[in-house]
Structure 1
Amino acid sequence: MPDAPLPPLQLTDVQRSVSAELDRIAPVIDELGRRFRGAGHELHLVGGPVRDAMLGRQHNDLDFTTSARPEQTERLLKGWADAVWDIGRAFGTIGCRRGDWQVEITTYRSETYDPSSRKPDVDFGDTLAGDLGRRDFTVNAMAVSVPDRTFEDPFHGVVDLAHRVLRTPGRPEDSFSDDPLRMMRAARFAAQLGFSVDPAVVSAMTAMADRITIISAERVRDELVKLVCAPYPRLGLGLLVETGLAGHVLPELPALALERDEHHRHKDVYEHTLTVLEQSIELESRLPGGGPDFVSRFAALMHDVGKPRTRRFVGDGTVTFHHHDVVGAKITRKRMKALRFSNDQIDAVSGLVELHLRFHGYGTGEWTDSAVRRYVRDAGDQLERLHVLTRADCTTRNRRKAERLRRTYDDLEARIARLSEEEELASLRPDLDGNQIMAILEIPPGRVVGEAYQHLLELRMDRGPMSSEDAEAALREWWAARG
């Protein structure tokens, strides 16, 4: 994964890619273009589909802009589309589906933000040039008129695309004042496309970083997820930190850039974190679905956020971070709640952060089978992600030590596999269920049944499977000890 943007593109390659993609999507663009032109309206393929066509990326989700008003667009789509929806009508957008194609058609727009508002004021425009001029970056401000396939590029986006640079159509300060989320989008596109960001854009982002605070947490979260799941997240995250945006949306990240102690005896936690993120991405093939996996990546990004708060210097100059796993899990949970993540995502990521050091107690394999069972039980349905995070966290430059850690974790996974096959660890439960506990102890449902169940689960962890007779004897012994 690059620390720096990718090399420039050749314009001849761009032209070939566009031609091939337009031929592929011809069944949509040609038919729609003729329908709109026949009704006296302009229609243009625009934005991401045009940009990605130049990059050789195929899309079945197509965006268009048009001179037609939403009600006119809706009428033109009926009879052509398999389904039509108007959920975006307030913003001038009508959506539809035709076979495998998803289409969104938006009326030319002129859109600005009130300086203190989170929502745009939407006004319809009259020209393609005006519509393109209000878009975020020049590489997204190109259009192809249909059905005649005339290329429109008033802001020289194709040149910026060839040089892999993000630039705004007008002054970046005006663009970010209209929609501060575009600053996050700059970082996201850098991560998705491997592009650099124009110095003027970076300067405006730095000067206006606090404007991001007027944007809703949900919109910021969505951009952050796209950035983290992009092919080159280090580029985007680095830009967030450099411009100060991270200080507002993910302050735990720049906080990792700890000042080194005078003896230089601990790692640069920020750089270590980005390395762990990249190594976790390389291991995503181990996960169901193969990635990109947001939970795995975000856990890697947050795994050491407890270190700044737990850093201590001892007498010989050694640095310690005791309990940074537990502290980091709490910090992670709080940040994800602020960004309005789902409870399931919060539980998964914070749980992985809390468990990421557990393996280091394994030593050279001294854990008992009981300890291995507890490791699996505590990881629950995040076990495969915990394997990825733990392996990715081994970033030592000492090749012999790295190889030893890898072999040791191989051994732990082999033991987990063996015990799982023998004991069905994934569905680990006591040898007696709640109904059996109530029948044996002759007690009604209630808190005591749960306590008995938990006691038997702990015994199951320690001893492995028991016969029903041994489990009943253990239960009666526990009950007698309670008096």
Structure 2
Amino acid sequence: MSDRIAIDELSVPPVADELGRAFADAGFQLHLVGGSVRDALLGRSSSAGPLGRKWEDLDFATSARPEQTLELLDRIASTTWTTGAAFGTIGATFRGERVEVTTFRADQYDRVSRNPVVAYGETLADDLRRRDFTINAMAVSVPGHEFTDPHDGRGDLARRVLRTPGTPEESFADDPLRMLRAARFAAQLEFDVDGDVREAMTAMSGDLSRITAERVRDEFVKLMGGTDPVLGLRLLVDTGLAEVFLPELPNLRMQIDEHAQHKDVYEHTLTVVRNAVSLEDDGPDVVLRIAALLHDIGKPDTKGLGTDGRVTFHHHELVGARMARKRLRDLRFPKEQVTAISHLIALHLRFYGYGRGEWTDSAVRRYVTDAGDQLSRLHKLTRSDCTTRNKRKASRLAADYDALEERIERLREEEDLAKVRPDLDGNEIMRLLGIPPGRMVGEAWNHLKEVRLDKGPLSRDEAEAELWRWAKDQGVLPE
């Protein structure tokens, strides 16, 4: 299907037409393709920006070979890069816009290795046929603005469904990562997955093991940052894809929680993820969302039966933190994200018990200090974890946490909780005790920090007296 639709709706940016004219003058075709066209038709891209356009990313397909594209862009673009040249893609900054231009592709796969064997196509039809889903297999020529949609991607956008241009079996055999991309698009766009596509995903889920951990991680992160990640997560579990790279998630099914509030921990977990999404302040917080997803993965390994016959999961937060750390490392997550997520999981139960009135100011200081720079996320995760259907209990827990946050703010006004330090630094400890740098200085510093957490700020005389008492007890000073 190729026609001149009311393409002005898409507000094709002048920069795209200018680039298209440059390619046309050199004897080559140029087309806006893929997600650029899809998102513009959906109205999902930014309408702001210097050109007042709806386009967020400018991806092009061309009849030029990579070396020809590079030669042309070197003449007219401010910068170029060849990171994707092996796959036919040349990047550039053109008139202040980041663009990527890829030679028509007709990829071939050996269906064993993890990467495609690149073969260039001769026509736009070749290129669109090899794309993952029909909604990504549309193009707009520049500067002519001819709309090409050979697989009815526009119709699938209207129906809000994911289909493949060819058979899903062929598509997924060529690149198994496309199965994970289906779940990602379901989460991002809130689309359904065609029945044939779902069946192929289920039958071929094991093929995802051919894909590198880094590529799987990248798609998973995009899924978790989607409008409704739960849609994608359910698809991963229902098709068996989660078993391949995140088996802890399907393992939560049929694990009854200790409060018998849900038929299984899996459903509770998905509710917690949705709760976390609703509490975000400024766009998707993938670290918070993944912490919510993994916060109870330690329950299956810690399941027990108490003397009263109730199911228990003692220390599941600590076991879960260790499990999350290993899984995220296996998926090649950045170290700082692994640390943040596992830390949140380890702390997510700390709040419970606060409402019994047992927390002293010291306990509140320790809560803040232990949370560190993850305190804001810990607030959200803890609130998200309250999924009880008992309205009275839910109201009480919310009120208790409100009270804790108010108490934290009150203490913050009185002292800098974000930077709890001993009232004497290392230099003062060495001078007062007459000792050189070494292990003993660190131990004295840690002792004074514990005192600071317990008692709050000390006067100079009180801090020195506490140091003398500790030093005498440790034998640093004579009796």
The one of 419, 437, 441 aligned to 1:449: 441
1:60 is the counterpart of 2:60: no
1:361 is the counterpart of 2:350: no
Distance 2:18 2:371 in 1: 53
Distance 1:481 1:260 in 2: 50
Equivalent residue of 2:119, what SS? strand
Deviates more, 1:58-67 or 1:351-360: 58-67
Taking structure 2 as the reference length, the TM-score comes to 0.93
Distance 1:369 1:314 in 2: 32
Superposed, which structure 2 residues align to 1:384-463 within 5 Å? 384-463=376-455
Contact kept, 8 Å, 1:212 with 1:245, in 2: the verdict is: yes
Superposed, which structure 2 residues align to 1:53-132 within 5 Å? 53-58=40-45, 59-132=55-128
For 1:36, the aligned partner's letter is: F
Q: Deviations over 1:171-220 (max 9, x none)?
A: 11111111111111000000000110111111111111111111110110
Superposed, which structure 2 residues align to 1:143-222 within 5 Å? 143-222=139-218
1:236 is the counterpart of 2:232: yes
Q: What residue is the counterpart of 1:309 in the other structure?
A: 301
Q: Deviations over 1:270-328 (max 9, x none)?
A: 1111111111111111xxxx131111111000111111111112355411111111111
Distance 2:197 2:331 in 1: 25
Contact kept, 8 Å, 1:365 with 1:408, in 2: the verdict is: no
The one of 264, 270, 276 aligned to 2:272: 276
Q: What residue is the counterpart of 2:291 in the other structure?
A: 299
Evaluate the alpha carbon distance shift between residue 322 and residue 260 of structure 1 in structure 2; reply closer, same or farther with a 3 A threshold.
Answer: closer
The one of 48, 51, 64 aligned to 2:35: 48
- Superposition deviation, residue 82 in structure 1: 2.2
Deviates more, 1:213-222 or 1:91-100: 91-100
Distance 1:355 1:259 in 2: 21
Contact kept, 8 Å, 2:15 with 2:95, in 1: the verdict is: no
Taking structure 1 as the reference length, the TM-score comes to 0.93
Distance 1:92 1:297 in 2: 35
| Matched length | 461
- Superposition deviation, residue 478 in structure 1: 0.6
The one of 35, 42, 46 aligned to 2:22: 35
For 1:221, the aligned partner's letter is: R
Contact kept, 8 Å, 1:82 with 1:97, in 2: the verdict is: yes
Deviates more, 1:118-127 or 1:216-225: 118-127
- Superposition deviation, residue 244 in structure 1: 0.3
1:474 is the counterpart of 2:466: yes
Identity %: 62
Distance 1:291 1:53 in 2: 20
Unpaired runs of at least 5, structure 1 = 1-14
Contact kept, 8 Å, 2:216 with 2:331, in 1: the verdict is: yes
Q: What residue is the counterpart of 2:11 in the other structure?
A: 22
- Superposition deviation, residue 267 in structure 1: 4.6
Unpaired runs of at least 5, structure 2 = 46-54
Q: What residue is the counterpart of 2:129 in the other structure?
A: 133
Distance 1:156 1:84 in 2: 34
Contact kept, 8 Å, 1:266 with 1:319, in 2: the verdict is: no
For 1:21, the aligned partner's letter is: L
Distance 2:357 2:15 in 1: 60
Equivalent residue of 2:424, what SS? coil
Contact kept, 8 Å, 2:125 with 2:150, in 1: the verdict is: yes
Evaluate the alpha carbon distance shift between residue 375 and residue 264 of structure 1 in structure 2; reply closer, same or farther with a 3 A threshold.
Answer: closer
Contact kept, 8 Å, 2:33 with 2:139, in 1: the verdict is: yes
Evaluate the alpha carbon distance shift between residue 166 and residue 221 of structure 1 in structure 2; reply closer, same or farther with a 3 A threshold.
Answer: same
For 1:418, the aligned partner's letter is: R
Equivalent residue of 1:123, what SS? coil
For 2:38, the aligned partner's letter is: R
Contact kept, 8 Å, 2:256 with 2:265, in 1: the verdict is: no
Contact kept, 8 Å, 1:364 with 1:408, in 2: the verdict is: no
